[in-house]
Structure 1
Amino acid sequence: MKPATIASTLLLSCCAAAAAVFPSDHDLRIPTSYESAILGRRILALTPLGTISTVFPKDKPSHDDVAAEERRPAGLDGMPYGLMEYISDCEDDNLGNPTILAITIGTTFRNVAAGSNVSLAVQWTPPHPPAKRIESTQTQNKRRSWLSYLLPGLGTNEKHHDATPLPYSAANLPRFSLLGHLEPIEGGDDRQGEVGSRLARCYVATHPDAKYWLPGNHVHEAHFVRLVVEQVYWVGGFGDRAFIGWIPVEEWQNVTREEWQKARLPGEKKGWKEWSVWEDL
């Protein structure tokens, strides 16, 4: 078979496979940025974990002690650094600024103290798997890689480690990034005061183990801080049925508690279908 014929055959096979996996629907209405903000605020209220990213400061004499204590390699200045952190939505002002318990010894918060801004990445994880998956009829009985559509029979004799696939399509689920800076919450460290006691109750309700390192503990210096949201980037899922792009921060802040409490996310209810649009949830 000629190379051109082989290439054409592979291309047609690829297109056929894509058509089988991704059905066409021209009548879908993509949510507005404000509707997406409502879903994002619900995710923030229901999701206890996120990835906070900061940037290492430039190497300066004032940072030598910190670098030596951490055994930090040289040349990290300007490099991004991200790790999982506990988050919560505990403030009464309803502006959508996440509440964070900052442990000052942590690298994330040392970078912030040295002047770094922050971003917080949060993704929605459904509590229930979908009743109907996104897959073609060919994959209902046996999961196949995309390459197997192009070259049938490839890998049938190969032995691989059995990997349990995710029970949902993560790429089809909403996630977002909040960009801004951290600032102390006034009165947040006074656990006898109204603000501090309320923050502690709310935070421990989401993270019971955090009671051991609340402000004033005898292990590490800790402070309640808020991530002041300045920009919001949203990926609601696949672009044919979800909004993808920047959400104006005013829309993020203007979402009411009543609005996000009424909203529903994929997988909050049993029996959902992965191809469902947000209006069907």
Structure 2
Amino acid sequence: MATIYPADHLTLAGQPYSMQEYYANCHANGSLTLIVLPISRHTQNILHSPSHSASISVSSDPPAAARARVALMGSVTLLPDDSPESEALKDCYLAQHPDAVEWIPGDDEGAHVAYWGIFDPHTVYFVGGFGDEHYIGYVPLNLYQTASPFDETDVGSRFLKQEASF
């Protein structure tokens, strides 16, 4: 995840801050679920941003230049403590990150105060691998939001076929 230090920061105003963050894919439209911790530098930057903006990179494990990756630019919305989605988000999140059990929102005995957040992308930039063989460029948001899961080995040919419509 990447965020920007707020304008009133004493030494790093306007500077980017980037560090790996957990997210979970719990939404059919490609939005991502976050655990938002007030102690986190990212959270502090997001809450001080008028648009609550952030960017998240998604890549292969392990990352490799020849493999597909995507940068998602968007905004974070905090969910209220009593959100009807909370239990489903907890189940989904812990299925993907069982080690996050100590940080789950609503746990009075948790390690930190935490909230559920939803990251909603507004811009998608895709790098399919090396440029002469794979699509590199913006992906229309509606295509991203309606895409179904697919085999990573098919990613390059799928986007090359649709490049003409971008």
Question: Would the TM-score normalized by the shorter structure come out above 0.5?
Answer: yes
Aligned-residue CA RMSD (Å): 2.2
8 Å CA contact 1:265–1:278 kept in 2: the answer is no
- Normalization by structure 2: what TM-score? 0.83
2:50 is the alignment partner of 1:101: no
Higher relative contact order (CA 8 A, sep 6+): 1
Counterpart of 2:140, as a letter, is P
Question: Which residue does the alignment assign to 1:182?
Answer: 76
Match of 2:57 in 1: 121
Aligned to 2:115, what secondary structure does the other structure show? strand
Q: What percentage of aligned pairs have identical amino acids?
A: 32
AA of the residue aligned to 1:238: F
**Is the Cα contact below 8 Å between 1:175 and 1:234 reproduced in 2?**
yes
Q: Which residue of the other structure, out of 119, 135, 155, is the alignment partner of 1:243? A: 135
Secondary structure at 2:145's aligned position in 1? helix
TM-score normalised over the length of structure 1: 0.51
| Cα drift, residue 239 of structure 1 | 1.6
Question: CA–CA distance in 2 between the matches of 1:182 and 1:216?
Answer: 19
Unaligned 5+ segments in structure 2 are 159-166
Letter of the 1:175 partner, please give it.
R
The higher radius of gyration belongs to 1
- Secondary structure at 1:90's aligned position in 2? coil
Write the distance in 1 (CA, Å) between the matches of 2:126 and 2:134.
10
Q: How do 1:192-211 and structure 2 match up within 5 A?
A: 194-211=84-101
Q: Alignment partner for residue 6 of structure 2, among 57, 73, 79?
A: 57
Q: Is structure 2 residue 114 aligned with structure 1 residue 222? A: yes
CA distance in 2, matches of 1:245, 1:173: 15
Mapping 1:15-94, distance limit 5 Å: 52-59=1-8, 74-91=10-27, 94=28
Where does residue 264 of structure 1 map in the other structure? 151
- Deviant stretches of 4+, over 4 Å: none
Q: Which has the higher helix share?
A: 1
Q: Which has the higher strand share?
A: 2
How far apart are the structure 1 equivalents of 2:134 and 2:39?
40
